Chain A
Amino acid sequence: MNTHQEHKYSVQEMISDKKSKKNLFNVTEKIVPLFLLLCAVISVLTTAGILFTLLRESITFFSEVSLAEFYLGTQWSPWSGKFGVFPLITGTLLITAIATCVALPIGIASAIYLSEYASNRSRKIIKPILEILAGIPTVVYGFFALTFVTPILQSVFPELKIFNALSAGIVVGIMITPMIASLSEDAMNSVPNRLREGAMALGSTKLEVTIKVIIPAALSGIIASIVLAVSRALGETMIVTIAAGATPNLTFDPMQSIQTLTAFIVQGATGDTSYGSNIYFSIYAVGITLFVFTFAMNLFAQYISRKFREDY
């Protein structure tokens, strides 16, 4: 009111005021994108650097141990010169499979509950709890597996080894559940309400709305969350190092002690591995194998979310 009466300022004047300072703005306008570009370049370069190191050391390794021996061999005991990576791969897949079996149903069910059924109040309580679960350090999960889950499982299956795939897999599953729940819930929540109304107006029950309309509409997001969680399980290190043992074992028996790709890398990197030995280089070969797995998962995720994209 006041300014209007006194007419002390004119908006146009202030705009031209600012325009006169434009030179300064021009500089910032040019510097900021450069800075942003620099940041982007740094992360690209880092990725390239990591890949380069992985490749270089792996190539050295493969000049000593043939590709066929590495990928087709069924015995992994690097300290006695046996570099068949297969048991590490099966160990990794076993853990991932168990984790997925745990996380998929629980994660999706929680997402459905949170997005479609929970009242605002319970959503406000449950979501932060999920996020806390996602923030627990994996080393804590590892001890949880070893000292809590394993004894319970042993009371059910007495033949279970102290270090075993089952317990570690279950706990990895618990660890990735919030990821699936939270990301899937986001995907389902962003399905517009008018689709729910449309389905309800046709006489669908709530469950029918969820299963026949909401989940298909959110499918690309849900699958992306699953793939992300699975690649997290593939690369999980601490839990399996602590709870699954260090016994490269070509088995799909979850009762056994096993070793994963990641757990071997830890073992190799923390043990008294001398620089330049075959074991040292094998760490990189195992690393690049792991990289191929997670990279394939990411490509798969992209393909899936493009294929199932349902625009609404």
Chain B
Amino acid sequence: MSVAMIDEKVEGEIVEKNSSIFKIEDFNLWYGTNQAIYGVNLSIPQNKITAVIGPSGCGKSTLLKTLNRMNDMIPGVRTSGQVMYNNQDIFRNKQMVEELRTQVGMVFQKPNPFPKSIYDNVAYGPRIHGIKKKKVLDEIVENSLKGAAIWDEVKDRLNQNAFSLSGGQQQRVCIARCLAIEPDVILMDEPTSALDPISTSKIEELIKELKNNYTIVIVTHNMQQAARISDKTAFMLNGELVEFTDTDRLFSNPKDKRTEDYITGRFG
């Protein structure tokens, strides 16, 4: 906070641009004895789209899941270092997990709607957090489905099981389910890898729109996708963060030889 305030006095514009919602400092993570993340330092800017790229097994999902603490409580997982969310250490307070997850939502690689109606899927989050009024829920469901650009396709079948939808539609329902609790950050782990090109482009459009209200961190194997939609890109390799900079810069003028090899497809 204090740093940001000093910045503000000096250069008001830049604060807005640089204020980061997550600050990862010297972060290491082990699955048992197997280290998956090595000394990562990374600041994730607010209201921007940050892409994480890198070869399979390099630790992208691990890093992403760290941000909403989906993996540090698996038995055998150990971490060191800090992850600051809005200047609070997320590991410090074990009680904070559920609260953190209401602020940091997640969309998974494979669409994972609950075996319930479309309506109940989207209303699930608000309901468990105590919203009971039918009218309020109706409104939340409608707004979330609109926000996920799927309202028109499902508005007449809200009571049908979400499994009756196509994969792309299911994924958008999952995005709506995530929007329904109005998080600040949305983590997406290869959200389009199971989808056809048309659904993919719909979801990419959607992600770009969501940027106005949300901070988005997206893991993707598709470098064109990262280049198309993200503002910043992080390149990871073998558990290390190799390079993190503006997307344009990373793809046009990478600093690190390994980044260059990877994005030009010359990678082992």
* Contact-residue bracket for chain B: 20 to 34
Cα distance, A267 to B110, chains bound together (Å): 60
**Is A201 an interface residue, CB under 8 A from the partner?**
yes
Say yes or no: B105 contacts A201, CB within 8 Å: yes
Cα distance, A310 to B115, chains bound together (Å): 6
Kindly supply a per-residue 1/0 record for chain B positions 128-144, scoring 1 wherever the CB is within 8 Å of any chain A CB and 0 otherwise: 11000000000000000
Do A217 and B114 contact each other (CB < 8 Å), given the known contacts A201-B70, A202-B101? yes
Say yes or no: A201 contacts B115, CB within 8 Å: no
Do A204 and B98 contact each other (CB < 8 Å), given the known contacts A198-B174, A212-B124? yes
Residues of A within 8 A of B159 (CB): none
Cα distance, A205 to B129, chains bound together (Å): 10
* Contact-residue bracket for chain A: 20 to 34
**Is B102 an interface residue, CB under 8 A from the partner?**
yes
Say yes or no: A203 contacts B181, CB within 8 Å: yes
**Is A311 an interface residue, CB under 8 A from the partner?**
yes
**Is A200 an interface residue, CB under 8 A from the partner?**
yes
Cα distance, A198 to B112, chains bound together (Å): 7
Say yes or no: A203 contacts B128, CB within 8 Å: yes
Residues of B within 8 A of A311 (CB): 115, 161, 163
Least Cβ–Cβ distance between A218 and chain B, in angstroms: 10
Say yes or no: A197 contacts B108, CB within 8 Å: yes
**Is A275 an interface residue, CB under 8 A from the partner?**
no
Residue of A nearest to B113 (CB): A198
Residues of B within 8 A of A202 (CB): 101-102, 105, 124-125, 128, 177-178, 181
Residues of A within 8 A of B110 (CB): 194
Say yes or no: B101 contacts A195, CB within 8 Å: no
Say yes or no: B115 contacts A312, CB within 8 Å: yes
Cα distance, A202 to B181, chains bound together (Å): 8
**Is B106 an interface residue, CB under 8 A from the partner?**
yes
Say yes or no: A195 contacts B112, CB within 8 Å: yes
Cα distance, A312 to B162, chains bound together (Å): 10
Cα distance, A208 to B115, chains bound together (Å): 15
Most buried by A among B115, B124, B178: B115
**Is A119 an interface residue, CB under 8 A from the partner?**
yes
Residue of A nearest to B100 (CB): A203
Kindly supply a per-residue 1/0 record for chain B positions 63-99, scoring 1 wherever the CB is within 8 Å of any chain A CB and 0 otherwise: 0000010100001000000000000000000000011
Q: Which single member of B98, B161, B174 contacts A203 (CB below 8 Å)? A: B98
Say yes or no: B108 contacts A216, CB within 8 Å: no
Cα distance, A202 to B129, chains bound together (Å): 9
Least Cβ–Cβ distance between B88 and chain A, in angstroms: 16
Q: Which single member of A198, A204, A212, A310 contacts B108 (CB below 8 Å)? A: A198
Least Cβ–Cβ distance between A145 and chain B, in angstroms: 41
Cα distance, A217 to B100, chains bound together (Å): 26
Measured CB to CB, the residues of A under 8 A from B are 119, 192, 194-195, 197-205, 208, 212-213, 216-217, 310-312
> 5 pairs across A/B with beta carbons < 8 Å?
A197-B108, A201-B105, A205-B98, A212-B124, A212-B127
Among all A-B residue pairs, the 7 with the closest Cβ atoms? A310-B115, A203-B102, A201-B106, A203-B101, A194-B112, A198-B112, A202-B125
Measured CB to CB, the residues of B under 8 A from A are 68, 70, 75, 98-102, 105-106, 108, 110, 112-116, 124-125, 127-129, 161, 163, 174, 177-178, 181
